A and B are shown apart, each in its own frame.
Chain A
């Protein structure tokens, strides 16, 4: 056991760090930024940083050279991400495109399409979003009912998508829709990519618990998509979507935000009935448990990296990351706010208090996005532990005959 890079890894890390030191400045603290990309300056800065990375080959380093990458290994990707995270640079805007749309385009688009769309995606010139969930299809994404009707070499799309992160500033989107409700649920779907400026697309931001709006409702009214923008065969929509969802689960990792270090620092000075909160037994026990969760996730990540470094496939351990970190975030938010007693209600300029309130307000979303706690537990139980699926009421019948309730 050791925590050292191999010789090659150390060389690569140095290369990353050298470039980053020349082109960015180190972060002063570890507080994650709450990037609001509706702010035009922030968007501009994010695009400029992405372009700088792209020109130097760092934007999508694992992609082949012809699409703007450098053909890097998984380990090299991790090393890059690890080094980049130490610098004060914009992030969070290109992740859906690069993490989910990119891999699907890479696998299913034609050569001409890849040459046309992948480099601007990597460069940050064009932003992509993912149009999957619908008002009646959340955890059960395959229950989607937006319609695609073929008309000559075009498809006409009608329906509504929801929870679409970044749709309000996206140029393109990947889209899965139902082309035949008479077929079985998982067989009647087809997959496309779509120009978000197409006539008939209307994007309405959704205001969230936090007050911010990072995701949207997207309405489709007689939107035309050329058949050439179909990804996969007609009826293969679910298969293609699964590729994306697997990537989503890899992309959605730690719930950022207030963590055990913040709770600890806060407890050292916060008054609790005349004593520092850190003297309180219950506070100490909670901090101990969060520290164990946090270091458990960190060490799990190191085990995954060890496997990648050896050239092995990592085990399923990483599947626990989001479920543990999102729950911890919510608990730490509660802890911080509660420690203020009645004054915990108040919005203040205190950065720690803001951090706890943001954690508390944002955590419910983290427990849902990218697979709810419940869906993730199903996945661990079925894919890791090998337990049988629930009996399904939606198999072996035409989609239109599946009970759907009122919502």
Chain B
């Protein structure tokens, strides 16, 4: 029985933590948020130099050829420090999609450049103010080209490529588009966590390459999302832990009515509830990490379980961290709101809590838990 990371993986995590601390990732996040620069180029370059973009990429394509578990520990640290970089878009979604579904030619062309940071990927799926589904995608793929508009695409100002969910003659297909082409127009859309820019992308007769076949695109999309959900969940527990730590420290230092506010049960119980939610989420993440790293048949339910509990934990920890800080927590000056914002970004980026609960119950119906 060993539901834990190896010593090497823990060492990697420790190194990642030290690096992000030294680089002041958290204050970089504030700068990006305040300057609307959408991401931090310098931090991103350093992360690329460390090889994190190639952790899962096989060595023959220039990567480190490590496993998902290594990616999980990095994700937790990126989440803890709110690193303002397109890591989730480019690595958890775009690179993973290529590793799992790309043709040999695509992998040869794109993977080495994703590792070296020469290209950056993102995922373009949403089209309106509602959840995307295989029945409401309107962006069209036909004869090697796409036409239509995607919105709320994260990181598109740094991304060079997008994985686009399109409607084809025979179903849903996934397309890879080079965003430097003519016919692509990218516009910033204001969002509630400007430390990670979100954009609309209009495609006008833009040449693309299909990834996977042209019928089962939605199934492939779902499987990409199920895998990425585990990595997102690790970012979420990193952020939850940071929020809880902030709240605990503040509750020890802040005095009211002659004693630390952390000595009042109203605060203690709130913080205990945050710890409980985080512990449940973390343990579910361990199991999902195992399922992801072994390509277990349990992955759909394991990833949905990790995802649902991580969304709930981060939501609770980030909002109650503000509450614990009182008026200070509501100011722009304190960092609390940056975690609150990021918790929402991470919870929406792969689809909302309610839709993940639905996915979980659907997977339970399929596997028949009793």
Using a CB–CB cutoff of 8 Å, the interface residues on chain A facing chain B are 1-6, 9, 260-262, 264-265, 278, 284-285, 287-289, 291-293, 295-300, 302-303, 305-307, 309-310, 317, 320, 323-324, 374, 376-378, 380-382, 384-391
Contact = CB atoms under 8 A, between A and B. Distances in A.
B320 to A, nearest CB: 13
A391 B272 contact: no
Shortest 8 CB-CB distances between A and B: which pairs? A296-B280, A381-B268, A288-B357, A299-B283, A377-B272, A387-B262, A380-B272, A300-B283
A216 B269 CA distance: 31
A306 B268 contact: no
Interface in B3-30: 3-5
A287 B365 CA distance: 11
Q: B1, B251, B262, B293 — which one has the most chain A CB atoms within 10 A of its CB? A: B1
Nearest to B4: A306
Contacts of A262: 370
A407 B268 CA distance: 27
A292 B284 contact: yes
A200 B277 CA distance: 49
B263 A1 contact: no
B349 interface: no
B260 interface: yes
A299 B286 CA distance: 8
B3 A385 contact: no
Interface in B254-276: 259-260, 262-265, 267-269, 271-273, 275-276
B62 to A, nearest CB: 27
7 contacts: A307-B4, A320-B276, A374-B265, A381-B272, A385-B271, A387-B248, A389-B263
B339 interface: no
Nearest to A79: B1
Given A1-B286, A2-B1, 13 more contacts: A1-B2, A1-B69, A5-B1, A264-B370, A285-B354, A291-B361, A295-B284, A300-B280, A302-B283, A303-B4, A306-B4, A324-B276, A381-B268
Interface in B284-315: 284, 286-287, 289-290, 293, 304-305, 308-309, 312
A287 B77 CA distance: 31
Contacts, number: 162
B369 interface: yes
A29 to B, nearest CB: 10
B225 interface: no
B263 A289 contact: no
A291 B305 contact: yes
B360 interface: yes
Given A291-B360, A388-B263, A1 B268 contact: no
Contacts of B281: 296
A381 B269 contact: yes
B243 to A, nearest CB: 13
B369 A261 contact: yes
A382 B304 CA distance: 32
A381 B272 CA distance: 5
A1 B361 contact: no
Contacts of A385: 244, 248, 271-272, 275
A285 B357 contact: yes
Nearest to A3: B1
Contacts of A296: 279-281, 283-284, 305, 309
B121 to A, nearest CB: 28
B284 A390 contact: no
B268 A3 contact: no
B358 interface: yes
B3 A306 contact: yes
Contacts of B354: 285
B252 interface: yes
Nearest to A284: B361
A381 B244 CA distance: 11
Contacts of A386: 248, 252
A388 B3 contact: no
A284 B1 contact: no
A378 to B, nearest CB: 6
Contacts of A287: 361, 364
A267 B296 CA distance: 27
Interface string B348-360: 0000001011101
Interface in B159-179: none
A2 B4 CA distance: 8
Interface in B23-49: none
A17 B355 CA distance: 42
A264 B248 CA distance: 37
B259 A377 contact: no
Contacts of B279: 296, 300, 317, 320
A382 B268 contact: yes
Given A3-B3, A309-B1, A384 B275 contact: yes
Contact of A309 (B2, B272, B287, B309): B2
Contact of B361 (A288, A298, A323, A389): A288
A317 B309 CA distance: 16
A1 B69 CA distance: 9
B357 to A, nearest CB: 4
A18 to B, nearest CB: 20
A378 B280 CA distance: 18
Contacts of B287: 295, 299, 302
A1 to B, nearest CB: 4
A1 B290 contact: yes
A319 to B, nearest CB: 9
Nearest to A308: B1
Contacts of B5: 1
